[in-house]
């Protein structure tokens, strides 16, 4: 009873002091972290008038800004045990407020958690458009925009419970890792569903659920031996973020003064001939007028972002980050952010959105890049996104007649430049995502072309990423607005007429898409030679591309016929890769065939496990 009384007393003390301490961030921390210090942000009306003290904790630095509502206090965490510690605000010798701060015990093995890697298949969802598991949270009195499925750009009601309800579906598809676009609070008055304009980065948006719901999502995924990737935004916040509405300092964000838009020219980050003004408008310019650009070169901002990221890893048990607009950040600062994350978690994976169309420029941003080293730059970013493969997949299946630079040679050409990347297995490979044109729209919903693209993603080096709904043939034209490529998944809402989450609820065509995707990626999940094997490929002939994934004991042969005619492939040219193998089994049909001559239908792929 005594222990219960003390807990109630502490909680009451926090409540009584709320007039001086409205927020402390991070809201709690963990003992035994690698970093030996912690920057606490204290917020409250005129809080800078007071002097903070913390029982049993050494305060190494107190920083005030021009806004008296903030105090930044650095404390030593060396040998700090789990438990609660009283933070006091004093005016002279008089205590005016107190706050109980908690250090929690880390989960065993937390620091050595293993992130997603090339053995995984990543499934990307827009949570507002995936499934509505709890209609009661569709709208919230704490947020401006309310759910309205009639609006293409409005909130539709998808949430965390809806994701949890359909984890079996995602697993059946062969995916092992879930990447959800952001779930943190976005209080924009409209178009808030994408959640990239965040208004509180320590809080899950109440229309998606609670922080506890998000942690539960991670726990449920881990029970299924699956992984959770958070979409993290370092470059900007939303204009409605509570700190943007009461800036700690003028230089917390980039100002010109006020707003100026980015020129989006990321090449200015490494162009040796660029002008200072062009680089400034790329890095410091706002992504949009409603997304103020964070100044990561301000140490207070950088520490805030580092600690927030680590807090979510530890709290929710994350297995990775996908970092939005990675190459728009100040490159030295984002490199320091990334290094701080991977120093704390050496086996954690972070993939950055580096939306460029040249492999040397993309490779510049990967950790230990020899290209970056020319400028004494190391991003410390483990993984990048293979946008040049995406570019090739967006056009190649329309190019029925091969030429020097048209047809399947575009895919071949992408892998010719693999030498540029320090870690080719740590590239995210994809045919589409939530920002690009829908694959099935570009190719008119042709199942044959979809199957070719998926077969390539499933068999090349790197980490394949699928975009929700494509596996049932979903399309949508981005030219009609972003909402057209972010449609509701059929069956995700209680009143939907069709439920495509089940085989019986899908149409025959949808089941064709799903069955192929599931069989392909379930096979990949169990095939280590694809995860870490070497690649050997051969110059395409007659719009037919052949490559092998192999190691010391196993090999897979991939034959892609991108022409409109059936082809017969003589295999003598591949002798160096076929040495010791006599037969191959098609992983889709189960048909076994000899390797002397291979007949392949137009616009199809064969994936042969060699024996």
- Residue-level pLDDT at 167: 98
pLDDT band for position 20 (50/70/90)? confident
Report, as an integer, the average pLDDT of 557-562: 98
Kindly report the average pLDDT of the chain as a whole number: 95
Give residue-wise pLDDT tens across range 406-422.
Answer: 999 999 999 999 999 99
Q: Which helix (H) or strand (E) holds 102?
A: strand 94-104
Q: In this predicted structure, which of 6-10, 154-158, 180-184, 545-549 has the lowest mean pLDDT?
A: 6-10
Q: Residue 1 pLDDT > 80, yes or no? A: no
Q: How many CA atoms lie within 13 A of 415 on its CB side?
A: 25
Q: Give the pLDDT confidence of 137-173 residue by residue, as tens digits.
A: 999 999 999 999 999 999 999 999 999 999 999 999 9
Q: Is 432 a catalytic residue?
A: no
Structure tokens at 239: 């204009």
Q: Which long-range contacts (CB under 8 A, 24 or more apart) does 508-513 make?
A: 509/447, 509/473, 510/472, 510/473, 512/447, 513/447, 513/450, 513/470, 513/471, 513/472, 513/473
Q: pLDDT, tens digit, for every residue of 432-478?
A: 999 999 999 999 999 999 999 999 999 999 999 999 999 999 999 99
**pLDDT above 70 as % of the chain:** 97
pLDDT digits (tens, 9 = 90+) for 219-246: 999 999 999 999 999 999 999 999 999 9
Residue 256: pLDDT band with limits 50, 70, 90: very high
Q: Does the pLDDT value for residue 121 go beyond 70?
A: yes
**Active-site residue, from 117, 120, 330, 353:** 353
**DSSP conformation class of 288:** B
Catalytic-role residue among 145, 319, 324, 471: 324
> Does residue 565 have an active-site annotation?
no
Evaluate whether 466 touches 122 at the Cβ level (below 8 Å): yes
Give the per-residue pLDDT at 580.
Answer: 87
Please give the pLDDT value at position 2.
29
Q: With 60 as the cut, is the pLDDT of residue 12 above it?
A: no
Which tokens go with 588? Answer: 């889709």
Quick one: pLDDT band at residue 7, thresholds 50, 70, 90?
very low
Which pLDDT tens digit goes with each residue over 193-208? 999 999 999 999 999 9
The pLDDT, as a whole number, for residue 107 is 94
**Across residues 338-347, what is the average pLDDT?**
98
How many Å apart are CA 546 and CA 535, to the nearest integer? Answer: 11
Q: Determine the Cα–Cα distance for residues 412 and 540; give it in Å rounded to an integer.
A: 7
Instruction: Specify whether the backbone of 264 is left (phi greater than 0), alpha (psi in -120 to 50) or beta.
Output: left
The reported pTM is 0.95
Task: Report which of 352, 340, 212 is spatially closest to residue 269, judged by C-alpha positions.
Answer: 352
Q: Provide mean pLDDT across the span 323-350.
A: 98
Cα gap 596→2, rounded to integer Å: 82
DSSP 3-state of 328: helix
Q: What is the pLDDT of residues 33-88, one digit of tens each?
A: 999 999 999 999 999 999 999 999 999 999 999 999 999 999 999 999 999 999 99
pLDDT of residue 19: 60
Cα–Cα distance list, 294 to 180, 251, 269 (Å):
23, 9, 17
Percentage with pLDDT > 90 across the chain: 96
The three-class DSSP label of residue 91 is strand
């Amino acid at each position: 009873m005594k222990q219960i009384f003390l807990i109630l007393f502490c909680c009451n003390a926090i409540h009584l002091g709320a007039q001086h301490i409205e927020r402390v961030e991070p809201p709690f921390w963990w003992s035994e972290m690698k970093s030996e210090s912690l920057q606490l942000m204290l917020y409250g009306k005129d809080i800078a008038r007071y002097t903070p003290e913390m029982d049993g904790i050494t305060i190494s630095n107190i920083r005030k800004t021009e806004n008296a509502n903030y105090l930044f206090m650095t404390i030593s965490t060396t040998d700090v045990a789990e438990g609660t510690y009283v933070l006091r605000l004093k005016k002279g010798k008089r205590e005016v407020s107190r706050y109980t701060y908690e250090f929690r015990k880390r989960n065993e093995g937390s620091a050595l958690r293993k992130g997603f890697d090339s053995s995984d298949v990543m499934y990307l969802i827009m949570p507002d458009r995936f499934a509505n598991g709890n209609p009661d949270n569709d709208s919230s009195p704490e947020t401006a925009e309310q759910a309205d499925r009639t609006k293409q750009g409005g909130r539709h009601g998808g949430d965390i419970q809806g994701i949890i309800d359909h984890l079996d579906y995602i697993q059946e598809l062969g995916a092992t890792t879930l990447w959800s676009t952001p779930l943190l609070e976005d209080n924009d008055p409209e178009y808030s569903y994408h959640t990239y304009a965040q208004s509180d980065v320590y809080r899950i948006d109440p229309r998606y659920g609670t922080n506890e719901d998000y942690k539960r999502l991670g726990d449920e995924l881990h029970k299924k031996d699956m992984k959770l990737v958070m979409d993290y935004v370092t470059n900007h916040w939303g204009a409605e973020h509570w700190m943007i509405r009461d800036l700690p300092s003028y230089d917390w964000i980039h100002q010109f003064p006020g707003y100026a838009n980015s020129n989006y020219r990321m090449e200015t980050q490494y162009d040796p001939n660029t002008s200072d003004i062009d680089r400034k408008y790329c890095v410091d310019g706002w992504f949009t007028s409603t997304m103020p650009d964070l100044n990561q070169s301000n140490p207070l901002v950088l520490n805030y972002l580092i600690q927030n990221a680590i807090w979510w890893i530890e709290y929710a048990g994350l297995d990775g980050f996908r970092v939005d607009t990675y190459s728009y950040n100040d490159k030295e600062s984002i490199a320091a952010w990334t290094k701080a994350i991977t120093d704390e978690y050496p086996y954690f994976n972070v993939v950055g959105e580096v939306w460029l169309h040249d492999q040397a420029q993309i490779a510049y941003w990967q950790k230990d890049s020899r290209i970056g080293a020319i400028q004494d730059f190391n991003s410390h970013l483990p993984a990048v996104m293979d946008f040049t493969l995406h570019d090739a997949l967006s056009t190649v299946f329309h190019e029925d007649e091969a030429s020097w630079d048209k047809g399947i040679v575009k895919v071949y050409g992408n892998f010719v430049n693999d030498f540029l990347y320090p870690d080719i297995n740590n590239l995210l490979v994809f045919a589409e995502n939530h920002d690009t044109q829908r694959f099935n729209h570009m190719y008119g919903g042709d199942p044959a072309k979809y199957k070719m693209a998926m077969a390539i993603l499933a068999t090349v080096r790197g980490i394949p990423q699928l975009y929700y709904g494509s596996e049932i043939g979903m399309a949508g034209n981005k030219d009609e607005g972003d909402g057209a490529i972010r449609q509701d998944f059929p069956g995700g809402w209680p009143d939907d007429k069709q439920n495509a989450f089940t085989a019986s609820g899908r149409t025959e065509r949808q089941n064709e898409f799903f069955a192929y995707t599931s069989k392909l990626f379930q096979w990949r999940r169990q095939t280590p030679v694809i995860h870490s094997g070497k690649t050997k490929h051969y110059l395409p002939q007659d719009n037919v591309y052949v490559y092998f994934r192999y190691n010391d004991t196993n090999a897979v042969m991939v034959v892609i016929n991108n022409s409109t005619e059936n082809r017969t492939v003589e295999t003598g040219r591949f002798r160096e890769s076929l040495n010791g193998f006599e037969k191959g089994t098609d992983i889709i049909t189960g048909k076994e065939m000899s390797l002397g001559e291979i007949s392949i239908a137009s616009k199809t792929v064969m994936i042969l496990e060699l024996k």
